[in-house]
Structure 1
Amino acid sequence: MPVILYSYFRSSAAYRVRIALNLKHIGYEIRPVHLLKNGGEQFKADYLALNPQGRVPVLVVQNTVLSQSSAIIEYLEETFPNPPLLPTNPIERAYVRSLAQIIACDIHPLNNLRVLNYLKSILKSNFQQAWRSHWIEEGFSALEQLLQKSNYSGRFCYGDTPGMADAFLIPQVYNAKRFGYEMNSFPLISGIYENCIQEAAFSTAAPENQPDAET
């Protein structure tokens, strides 16, 4: 039974799930959902029947619909334990999760399409670049300090094997670069990004390599 991922090529949340699936060597079929065309395909009735929130990603596995990227990645870790995306030590697992959650909870939600569209509708000004930069700066500053203080860092967020934190980090750095954010203040994050994009699991998941990619 195929694993189906409803995805939009530029969605950070879908991007991180694609990375996790690739790291786990799980085959999957992509069903593109364009978030901008025709008012957003995520708001069509057939998609809302899958996910009432009208967001991507959605993973369909064993006739079960899963939403929310963090929950999907935790499910993959529990169901397909090898190769692992989390360390075995509980303290170290919590550390990796904390890095992922800084991105998933404190940076990404404030910069996603629905928030920016709402703010644009009420502010009626070109605020988006300053808004994005503020939250990226705040979140990446904390991440960089955590990585500096950690005894776990290596080529990746945790050691020399890519894992969950990297799956969350790389889409966020990709977006920062896409919008012209200067990364010189974050050498550790930048180094991890460069290491990750050399890995097939990350390059295959990149937005430009998706079936629905646009220039």
Structure 2
Amino acid sequence: MKLHNYFRSSASFRVRIALALKGMAYDYVPVHIARGDHKLPAFTDMAVEGLVPLLELDDGTRLTQSMAIIEYLDEVQPAPALLPGGALARARVRALSQIVSCEIHPINNLRVLKYLVRELKVEEEAKNTWYRHWVRIGLEAFERQLAQQPASTYCCGETPTMADCCLVPQIFNGQRFNTDFSGLPRTMAAFEACMALPAFQQAQPSACPDAEA
């Protein structure tokens, strides 16, 4: 398999975590989206959406959208499971995952931030305030959801799930923008527990071949 991705892309980071947790080998293919490489024909000819990540299977089949890729990986290699057994437990994991992937990330990804600056002429600090505001609002909702569940090491239980794959990259990106993480005890405890695991350490941006100093 080949994973076309960018080291700082949180969606790419999610998939790298999932692959690492499952011990699935892949070739790392960098696509520098900050430089605009995702808009070049070499990439858009493969990825009609022009977005990372893109997972290219051994037979040439190409999959896009991080959440779809993670669920695909969980179906073709069920262990270790990133979605738990039982419809209710799976729904809870998906809900947490979607707080990040559907509520926080879409209004704070790189193309949105660039549009704010380039097209709407938003000042740098105002852009950063925008970012921090929506990340904080989303993580507060994430924390409230965790508070309704039994105590656990990770987001949902004693093994990492798709929710953890989504949470960790969002915290990483939030740290870059000096987001306030105070008052989120369950959320940050899950993050710290994840970062103690080799799979999360191996998938983090600084461990990527295209990581910048």
**Aligned equivalent of 2:40, options 29, 40, 44:** 44
Runs of 4+ in 1 over 3 A off after TM superposition: none
Query: SS at the partner of 2:45?
Result: helix
1:160 alignment partner in structure 2: 158
Determine the C-alpha separation between the residues in 2 that align with 1:31 and 1:122: 30
Q: Which ranges of structure 2 fall in alignment gaps of 5 or more residues? A: none
Q: What amino acid sits opposite 2:167 in the alignment?
A: L
What is aligned with 1:191? 189
Specify the alignment match of 2:94 in structure 1. Answer: 97
**Aligned positions of 1:10-159 closer than 5 A:** 10-37=8-35, 40-61=36-57, 62-126=59-123, 127-151=126-150, 153-159=151-157
TM superposition shift of 1:123? 2.6
Give the gaps of 5 or more residues in structure 1.
none
Aligned length: 210
Root mean square deviation of aligned Cα: 0.9
Over the matched positions of the two proteins, sequence identity in percent amounts to 44
Question: 2:133 and 2:101 mapped to 1: Cα distance?
Answer: 16
TM-superposed CA distance for 1:125, in Å, is 2.5
Show CA shifts across 1:35-58 (max 9, x none): 122xx1111111001112111000
- 1:28 and 1:11 map into 2 onto residues whose CA distance is 17
- When normalised by structure 2's length, the TM-score is 0.96
Cα distance in 1 for partners of 2:21, 2:161 equals: 8
What secondary structure, in the 3-state scheme, does the structure 2 residue paired with 1:46 have? helix
The one-letter amino acid paired with 1:132 is: Y
